[in-house]
Amino acid sequence: MNMEKNKYEAPEQKSEKESGSNSNADQTIYERGAEAYRQAKQVVSDAYEKTSEKVRETYEQKESFMKTNEKSVAMYGVVPASEIIGEAVVNPEGESVGKILELVIDAGKNRVVYAVLSFGGFMGMRNKLFAIPWEAFEFSETETKLILNVDREKLEAAPGFEKGDKWPDFKDTLWGESIYNYYNYAPPWKP
């Protein structure tokens, strides 16, 4: 039979005389162990609480994001350039004016500066191209088309160029100012 003590068995009882001197030491060890256990338990509890808090925050953020996206609506007028090029253009009276042939952007300032409009036989005019300030257009809320807010007289006398001709230098600010002034808009590069 193995005479070794099982480490899981309760210690043997000692006589009162033997245990008297060790009881204070045992009590101190017991108290320290109990305190260490309480501290460890508190650390685990705090970690659990922080983790739970983080999980709740993440869940709430996700829920908030989902609710925001559920209510999301399309931003009016935000479309790819490819959908604008070739788009029909009408005047405020609903009469066809032509189509957008090109968009000219100021890449340094992140904005559209001109739309090149092809007038396809409007009021007897030949198919000419016109650089028109982007601000002169608005998107139709009910149809897939742009509305050009320029009156007929202005369009009839507008400066333009032929499709096969050399196009204007869109970087030329003097030319640009003349176009913006013609349509009664302030050039975006001017303060």
Higher pLDDT, 130 or 126: 130
Higher pLDDT, 125 or 31: 31
Query: Quick one: which of 129, 186, 188 has its CA closest to 155?
Result: 129
Beta-bridge mates of residue 116: 102, 131
Does residue 168 register a pLDDT over 60? yes
Angstrom distance (rounded) from CA 134 to CA 166: 21
Using only the alpha carbons of the chain, give its radius of gyration. 41
Mean pLDDT of the chain: 77
Query: Quick one: which of 30, 176, 21, 158 has its CA closest to 114?
Result: 176
Q: Taking residues 79-94, report their average pLDDT.
A: 87
Does residue 18 register a pLDDT over 70? no
Higher pLDDT, 126 or 70: 126
**Pair 135, 113: CB distance under 8 Å:** no
Beta-bridge mates of residue 118: 99, 129
**Pair 117, 96: CB distance under 8 Å:** no
